[in-house]
Structure 1
């Protein structure tokens, strides 16, 4: 099994990749504002079908989307950690792009209020899921190279998903679906 100290290394690696990706996306938005605006518009345009969803349906959509992605990142980590690393980088870069675009449009408060409340739980949950995926990639490599056991590590990661990550994503989805819209509506209806 993995110790807390060892796992902190995986969290640090994931956090560094995520932070670098956010910075990369932000710099990209500053250097190429029109292209970045098109990417952000395309991202939000892909979510247009949710505009008429009730808050409960939005909650279900957000929760299932995040749960499936987090589980996918863990399960496919055994492919030498490629999927988790691509996932965390892509998400970080998108966040950086969004923040950069909204900052240029003087809407930084909107994006902070839109991301921060649920992001306090969602980002750590995704970092944990990605870290477990990377760890499983290393465990799988060690299985192939040194014939070390893998199944016990895989089971451990799944238990952590259900006991830690899933509840965090549930709380984040509740906040994103019900609390964040109320805060934004309150502040911008004045």
Structure 2
């Protein structure tokens, strides 16, 4: 099994990749604002179908979307950690692009309001899921090279998914669906 100290290394790696990706996305938005705006508009445009959803349906959509992505990142981590690393980098870069685009348009306050409340829970959950995926990639490599057991590590990661990551994603989806819209509407209707 993995010790807390060992797992902190995986969290540190994931956090560094995520932070670098945010910075990379932000710099891309600063250096190529038009292209970045198109990417951000496309991302939000892909979510247009949720515009008329009730808050409950938005909650279900957000929760299931994040739940499946986190599960996917853990389960497919055994492919030498490629899936988790691509996932965390892509998400970080998109966040950086969004921050850069909205900052340019003087809407940074809106982005902070839109991301911070649920992001406090969702980002750590995604970092944990990615870290477990990377760890499983290492465990799978060790299985192939040294014939070390893998199933026990996979079971451990899945237990952490259900005990820690799933509840964080649930609470983040509640906040994103029910709390954040009320706060934004209140502040911008005055």
Q: Which residue of 2 aligns with 1:10?
A: 10
1:116 positional shift: 0.2
Q: Does 1:123 align with 2:155?
A: no
The answer for the alignment partner of 1:134 in structure 2 is: 134
Measured after TM superposition, the shift of residue 105 of structure 1 is 0.2
Paired residues in the alignment total 190
CA deviation map 1:24-65 (0-9, x unaligned): 000000000000000000000000000000000000000000
TM (norm. structure 1) is 1.00
Report 1:51-90 matches (<5 A): 51-90=51-90
Deviations 1:149-185 (A, max 9, x none): 0000000000000000000000000000000000100
Tell me, yes or no, if structure 1 residue 154 matches structure 2 residue 154: yes
Following superposition, the deviation at residue 135 of structure 1 comes to: 0.1
CA distance in 2, matches of 1:138, 1:84: 12
Normalising by structure 2, what TM-score?
1.00
Cα distance in 1 for residues equivalent to 2:133 and 2:56: 30
Equivalent-residue separation in structure 2 for 1:79 and 1:98 (angstroms): 30
Aligned to 1:188: 188
Gaps of 5+ in 1: none
CA distance in structure 1 between the aligned counterparts of 2:187 and 2:34, rounded to whole angstroms: 28
2:110 match:
110
Q: What is the CA distance between 1:128 and its match in structure 2?
A: 0.0
**Aligned CA-pair RMSD:** 0.2
What secondary structure is seen at the aligned counterpart in 1 of 2:2? coil
Shift in Å, 1:70: 0.1
Aligned to 2:96: 96
Corresponding position of 1:21: 21
